[in-house]
Amino acid sequence: MLNISQSSIKGRIDLEKYSAFKKLETKSVSKLLLKIIFILLIFGIGSLFLPWTQNIRSNGYVSTLNPGDKPQTIQSLIAGRIDEWYVQEGDVVSKGDTILKISESKEEYLDPQLLDRTQGQIEAKNESAQAYSTKAGNLTEQYQALLKNKIIKLEQNQLKIQQSFLKLQIDSMEMVAAGIKLENSENQLKRTENLYKAGIKSLTDLETKRLSFQEAQAKYIAFENKTENHRNDIENLRANVQAINSNFEDKIAKSKSERMSALSAQYDAEANVDKLQSQYNQYKVRSDNYYVRSPIDGVVTKAMKEGIGEFIKGGEGLVSIVPLQFEMGVEAYINPVDVPLLKKGQKVRIQFDGWPSIIFSGWPDNSYGTFGGKIFAIDNYISPNGKYRILVAPDPEASPWPEEVRVGGGANALILLNDVRIYYELWRQLNGFPPDYYKNEKSKNSKMKAPIRKIK
């Protein structure tokens, strides 16, 4: 009985007289139940020897393999004001298509003829530089001419010295001859005076000899003066060499100084030309950036600035564009403890959000709605979320990924490792070992012989 009441009837009733009580106390086990339990036990033990693919599961999102294929924001290089939009959100644009036009907002760039005026300054400075270059060339020629004139003057002076030497030699010889003549005239005069005293010579003869003596004496003195003048001329010509050198050195130094001044002015003008050319290029590039163009073929997804007349800053984002053609990939994040088990080219199964799928993690071949991939890259540095990022690329040997998948959508990655037996996987899970705790080469002598093959 249930013995609910505090007054028990146990011992007061003979239970053997009633067949109902006998049936309640009779305990029998169904043979069918025993068969079912036995079959399930055999099936459970047999299933422990079924193959099981070790895996690492991770969450991620759809991305691109090439950084240039990621969604990008188009920015304005210069500050300005929005004048006109040429696209709408959702429009497909080609590379080089104009997205919007902006106008100038800074005071120093508001001159509509800024480029023409700057070009005129460049041309004027170029003419100035060429004028200084011509002047420097003329001064160079003047410098060369002064050098030649100096040599010529020195040569002429040397020739005059040689001529004076020759004249000195000639006049010296004539002076010697005049001296001999003077001496002869003096002797003749003395003899004539003696003869005159003796009455042999007349007074006329005596006066003639005196005249001859005076003429000889005058001629001798004249030649003596000439030779002295020639000596003085030679000394003057020798002194004139230093004067010629000094005079031409002064002129040459002045010419060189003027040439260096002309070259300095030329270089300064050329530097100003380069500076103005740089400013012109900056103005030209700035004017070219009044039209913001698309750098890629893509779809305009979002306008970050709206309306006409809104002011924007340099480097500020204007619109976001998604490329039309890109190489799809999946970014997933793995716990640091599982990173040593990964390598490039390793097989991965991908489940995309919004895509119907039935996943058997241990039997990927029997899963439905998953797509094949391979590990493309593994980061060497940990991410801010405390995990390591991996990139998964489509597996060319598997079915292609759906075209409907969009960048930024969620994805679950199932990274495939070794094929092992289920009993080994249960033993590993109970002991808390990571996947691939034992390598193939070490498991050959193991009693369990868990791993059966390595996925490459």
Domain housing 64: 50-69+326-431
CATH number at residue 412: 2.40.30.170
pLDDT category at 433 given cuts 50, 70, 90 is low
Q: Is residue 401 part of a domain?
A: yes
CB 198 within 8 A of CB 143: no
CA dihedral (21, 22, 27, 32) in degrees, to 10, reads -100
Q: Is residue 442 part of a domain?
A: no
409 and 349 in a common domain: yes
Overall pTM > 0.85: no
417 and 341 in a common domain: yes
- What would you report as the CA-atom Rg of the chain, rounded to the nearest whole angstrom? 60
224 and 294 in a common domain: no
Is the pLDDT confidence value at 204 over 60?
yes
Q: Is residue 356 part of a domain?
A: yes
More confident of the two residues 49 and 144: 144
Closest CA to 118 of 287, 338, 335, 350: 287
Taking the mean position of all CA atoms in its chain, how far away is CA 296?
Answer: 22
Q: Is residue 17 part of a domain?
A: no
- 414: enclosing H helix or E strand: strand 410-421
Q: What percent of the chain has pLDDT over 90?
A: 0
Cα–Cα distance for residue pair 151/147, rounded to 1 Å: 6
Tell me the average pLDDT across 142-168: 85
Q: Give the SS3 label for residue 332.
A: strand
CA dihedral (445, 449, 450, 452) in degrees, to 10, reads 100
Residue 193 exposure: Cα atoms within 13 Å on the Cβ side: 9
More confident of the two residues 48 and 360: 48
CATH number at residue 125: 1.10.287
294 and 217 in a common domain: no
Q: Is residue 4 part of a domain?
A: no
More confident of the two residues 381 and 426: 381
183 and 278 in a common domain: yes
Mean pLDDT of the chain: 78
Q: Is residue 396 part of a domain?
A: yes
DSSP state of 94: -
CB 411 within 8 A of CB 62: yes
How many CB atoms within 10 Å of residue 57? 15
Amino acid at 61: Y
Give the DSSP per-residue string, 201-249.
Answer: S-HHHHHHHHHHHHHHHHHHHHHHHHHHHHHHHHHHHHHHHHHHHHHHH
How many domains in the chain? 3
Output b/e per residue, 133-153; b: 16+ Cβ within 10 A. bebbeebeebbeebeeebeeb
337 and 273 in a common domain: no
Cα–Cα distance for residue pair 76/89, rounded to 1 Å: 18
> Where a domain ends, among 258, 286, 314?
286
Which of 39-53, 282-296, 379-393 has the weakest average pLDDT?
39-53
Q: What's the confidence (pLDDT) of residue 13?
A: 67
255 and 190 in a common domain: yes
Closest CA to 352 of 392, 299, 301, 311: 392
346 and 302 in a common domain: no
More confident of the two residues 298 and 454: 298
315 and 248 in a common domain: no
Beta strand residue intervals within 266-387, DSSP E: 291-293, 298-303, 311-312, 317-323, 328-334, 347-352, 371-378
77 and 62 in a common domain: no
CB 390 within 8 A of CB 63: no
Q: Is residue 451 part of a domain?
A: no
DSSP state of 131: H
354 and 395 in a common domain: yes
CATH number at residue 303: 2.40.50.100
319 and 252 in a common domain: no
pLDDT tens for 226-281 read 888 878 888 888 888 888 888 888 888 888 888 888 888 888 988 988 998 888 88
